[in-house]
Amino acid sequence: MSRPSNHQLTLNLFIYPGGHHEAAWRHPSSDAHRLLDITYYQELARQAEAAKLDAVFLADGPSLPENVRYASRFRLEPITLLTGVATATERIGLIATASTTYLDPYNLARLFASLDHISRGRAGWNIVTTGAPQAAANFGLDEHPVHADRYARAREFLEAVTALWDSWEDDALVIDQASGIFADTSKIHRIDHAGELLRVAGPLNVPRSPQGRPVYVQAGSSKDGRAFAAAHAEAIFTAHQTLGDARDFYADIKARVKGEGRDPDQVRVLPGISPFIGSTETEALELQEEFDALIQPEYSLQQLHQLLGVDLRGFDLDGPFPVGVLPTTGDRQESSRFNLVADIVRREAPTIRQLLRRLAGARGHWVTAGAPEQIADRIEEWFTGGAADGFNVMPPYLPGGFDAFTDHVVPILRERGLFRTEYEGSTLREHYGLQRPPSRFGATIRRAENRW
Amino acid sequence: MSRPSNHQLTLNLFIYPGGHHEAAWRHPSSDAHRLLDITYYQELARQAEAAKLDAVFLADGPSLPENVRYASRFRLEPITLLTGVATATERIGLIATASTTYLDPYNLARLFASLDHISRGRAGWNIVTTGAPQAAANFGLDEHPVHADRYARAREFLEAVTALWDSWEDDALVIDQASGIFADTSKIHRIDHAGELLRVAGPLNVPRSPQGRPVYVQAGSSKDGRAFAAAHAEAIFTAHQTLGDARDFYADIKARVKGEGRDPDQVRVLPGISPFIGSTETEALELQEEFDALIQPEYSLQQLHQLLGVDLRGFDLDGPFPVGVLPTTGDRQESSRFNLVADIVRREAPTIRQLLRRLAGARGHWVTAGAPEQIADRIEEWFTGGAADGFNVMPPYLPGGFDAFTDHVVPILRERGLFRTEYEGSTLREHYGLQRPPSRFGATIRRAENRW
């Protein structure tokens, strides 16, 4: 397996159904009527594959936000959606978000093992604990578990599913017609996970998949999130508004990874970037203005409510953001996205409307407008400046905003030697330069007590 | 939507990874090395579609049977697998088994809604409560819930997921770029299910799918199973060894359906048939013998153990089946498959080895060997004799056993006017002649209290 040169960017396409700008679906160029059509996603993934991107990525959450009234907020289930994409592509990685709070380890392990088999080794799992409190009521809970409890379950959950994915050794499947041995059951193991929160016996009922297990992706930048990422993540999605913040995060997370005894090169740090691209900077800014003009404050205020826990309906949109309403204690403080927005408010003292526009592009991710050379410059600056191993590319509108990126920005990155011209491998691990993890039950450390 | 003529058979292909005969994978014609390869399943489904069959069907269970040592018993997760098949086919229905005991309603509702969208209306759900007690330990339970408790949960589960699939009215998705209304939230509803066992608030985060909801398929023939099927099922898979038993079951279930105030024609009763097909009956019987010769008693005894709850290892295989070991009380009595096997034992007084062979073909389903005309005759006899609306075709080996069926039996059924020459519709409901269910929240009965 090749390790990507440190001079090679990692680039994912983060597909937000109509594009990341909250009003993207209202733009005449939008394919909003195709958001339930699998061919829409297949086409985007094929375009990403033609541009030799590493992966496509889908977010998720098991509840319906109320502001679906004003924008595309429904969600096809990402593992099924990406399975439908897998069979229409060959090389592109497929990263699905799934919640450790609202799924069972055994079911989740099966779903991802199946996607990894069906895609021949291209599955990634974006591990989330689910931020939206309304999810709880869909699963019979009175209260959404607090941040610390969600992370406690996430840690145990990851332990259990990792063991499930190890439960078949690579060579357990024998299929020897003559002897009649289908599987060597001495190489299939119970996991007997019995923790504080979860009990899972195993083994999994799916043989070990091409990548051993999906690539572990993580996106929380809270204290708990960073600790979790340092211990487990192989790719980290993160949101930063400035090069300085991104660089601080990058240094911190790589040091934490090292502190866990892991190789920092085995963790790709990938900030989000949502680029408006025009043939000139002026054109790009005009394009951004076209989208910002379509914003609906009702929607944006509901988004802000969800993000900050404060309802600003009734406030004067053109008055200053009332800093005093921000909670200063409680669970919300644990959220990295809350803190990012609170920082913007404190740093820039915007009006409410200015803040809504600031967040409309990509919910707190880095939104930037420019000509292709400028976008490439900014990407290169973050990449060579110790702030990123690559990016989660978040086109503000689709498919047009992604066309502009693949047609005009990727070629420049390639000319500069920053991005691959061909895939070298065929699995997501190979694209990311990650080692394939051995099964813990493998020959060198076979444990008799887990014989099945 | 067309209603199928009562003179038209319904035919599904039930794909058991290597074929239904337990030793199929050992036969030289087997594709056993391709069982983790999605193209294997895509090819089978395309073949079923070329023959104009109604659907492909996959069984499932969330645990690994120990006898995977001797035969193909692992399972890719069926909803993902069938999503990978959906994108390679156009018309064939896609029926996935999923457990009401070991999944959450919200997650299951999303998975099937996604499959129904991705396949443009071809999803079916085979509703099971999971028979294998070892599943419990994979989900943190001390004990597998008893039959009656599993059915109690199944009933409530079905109520909740049906409401979730109704939670978006058909015209809730507006996507009006000019007004900025993406969804008419007055047509999206909380379900507020609060039963004895489950609480689910809703709404689902996926718009109503092409079929409204997946086709409800049910396969238990126990007392609880029949009552459940009569109330809810739109297709019933059932196992019978004789025309008489099948006819009794058919009459009973249709009467129960009527008793529930439902139209008996809106329920397809589909026994399993596992046909060995040769150019003559002798050739077919020789073929069956070829497979039976590959049986491994270790495997078959474990199967029997799972089915009957009795371990016969150590008994003389050529001695009479020890009827006295069969439990006469307890949960096992509730299982229709247990009773079917117990009946064979009492009726035929076989040796253990004879019983193992009897069950090796299709785990208690009807195994029959003959020339194509004979197989067609038997199918016609059951169909016209009031024992079946069609069949779940269970090829003893794959792909060869299915080739024989599509190449030689289907044309005869077609000549006799018993089976379609072309699809008339494009959804599974249309193939089965089932009505598309309206949302309970639709215009005529809109309930203000569920406004969201």
Best of A39, A66, A79, A118 to substitute, by most chain B Cβ atoms within 10 angstroms, is A118
Distance, C-alpha A339 to centroid of its chain = 19
- A62 chain-B contacts, CB cut-off 8 A: 106-107, 110, 205
Q: Does B293 touch chain A (CB under 8 A)?
A: no
Q: Of all helices (H) and strands (E), which one includes residue B311? A: none
pLDDT of residue A268: 97
| Cβ pair A129, A101 in contact under 8 A | yes
Give pLDDT tens digits for B41-96.
Answer: 999 999 999 999 999 999 999 999 989 999 999 999 999 999 999 999 999 999 99
Query: What is the spatial distance between Cα B401 and Cα B288, in angstroms, rounded to a whole number?
Result: 11
Contact flag A70-B42 (C-beta cutoff 8 Å): no
Strand A123-128 and strand A215-218: the pairing is parallel
Angle at A441 between CA A437 and CA A442, to 5 degrees: 70
Query: What is the spatial distance between Cα B213 and Cα B112, in angstroms, rounded to a whole number?
Result: 8
Secondary structure, 3-state, chain A? CCCCCCCCCEEEEECCCCCCCCCHHHCCCCCHHHCCCHHHHHHHHHHHHHCCCCEEEECCCCCCCHHHHCCCCCCCCHHHHHHHHHCCCCCCEEEEEEECCCCCHHHHHHHHHHHHHHCCCCEEEEEECCCCHHHHHHHCCCCCCCHHHHHHHHHHHHHHHHHHHHCECCCCEEEECCCCEEECHHHEECCCEECCCCEECCCCCCCCECCECCEEEECCCCHHHHHHHHHHCCEEEECCCCHHHHHHHHHHHHHHHHHCCCCHHHCEEEEEEEEEECCCHHHHHHHHHHHHCCCCHHHHHHHHHHHHCCCCCCCCCCCECCHHHCCCCCHHHHCHHHHHHHHHHHHHCCEHHHHHHHHHCCCCCEEEEECHHHHHHHHHHHHHCCCCCEEEECCCCCCHHHHHHHHHHHHHHHHCCCCCCCCCCCCHHHHHCCCCCCCCCCHHHCCHHHEC
Token pair for B154: 């199944």
CATH no. for B10-279+366-450: 3.20.20.30
pLDDT of residue A444: 53
Query: What is the spatial distance between Cα A160 and Cα A168, in angstroms, rounded to a whole number?
Result: 14
Q: Of all helices (H) and strands (E), which one includes residue B450? A: none
Q: Of all helices (H) and strands (E), which one includes residue B428? A: helix B428-432
Token pair for B424: 């008339």
pLDDT of residue A261: 97
Give pLDDT tens digits for B116-161.
Answer: 999 999 999 999 999 889 999 999 999 999 999 999 999 999 999 9
Q: How close, in Å, is residue B21 to chain A by CA atoms? A: 14
Q: How close, in Å, is residue B443 to chain A by CA atoms? A: 19
Shortest CB distance from A80 goes to which of B83, B138, B205? B83
Shortest CB distance from A87 goes to which of B38, B63, B175? B38
End-to-end CA distance of chain A: 32
Shortest CB distance from B111 goes to which of A28, A77, A104? A77
Shortest CB distance from B77 goes to which of A86, A114, A175? A114
Q: Does A216 touch chain B (CB under 8 A)?
A: no
Dihedral sign for Cα A426, A429, A430, A435, please.
Answer: negative
Q: List, as residue ranges, the binding site of A.
A: 60, 97, 147, 151, 221-222
- B63 chain-A contacts, CB cut-off 8 A: 205
pLDDT of residue A1: 39
Q: What is the ipTM of this complex?
A: 0.96
Q: Of all helices (H) and strands (E), which one includes residue B280? A: none
Query: Domain spanning A10-284+364-443: which superfamily?
Result: Luciferase-like domain (3.20.20.30)
- B137 chain-A contacts, CB cut-off 8 A: 199-201
pLDDT of residue B450: 63
pLDDT 10s per residue in chain A (452 long)?
344 555 799 999 999 988 999 999 999 999 999 999 999 999 999 999 999 999 999 999 999 998 999 999 999 999 999 999 999 999 999 999 999 999 999 999 999 999 999 999 999 999 999 988 999 999 999 999 999 999 999 999 999 999 999 999 999 999 999 999 999 999 999 999 999 999 999 999 999 999 999 999 999 788 889 999 999 999 999 999 999 999 999 999 999 999 999 999 999 999 999 999 999 999 999 999 999 999 999 999 998 998 888 899 999 999 999 988 888 877 777 788 888 888 888 889 999 999 999 888 888 899 999 999 999 999 999 999 999 999 999 999 999 999 999 999 999 999 999 999 999 999 999 999 999 999 999 865 555 556 66
pLDDT of residue B2: 42
pLDDT of residue B443: 63
- A195 chain-B contacts, CB cut-off 8 A: none
Give pLDDT tens digits for B417-443.
Answer: 999 999 999 999 999 999 999 999 986
Phi-psi category of residue B315: left, alpha or beta, with phi > 0 → left and psi -120 to 50 → alpha = beta
pLDDT of residue A309: 86
Contact flag A25-B201 (C-beta cutoff 8 Å): no
What pLDDT band is residue B1 in, cutting at 50, 70 and 90?
A: very low
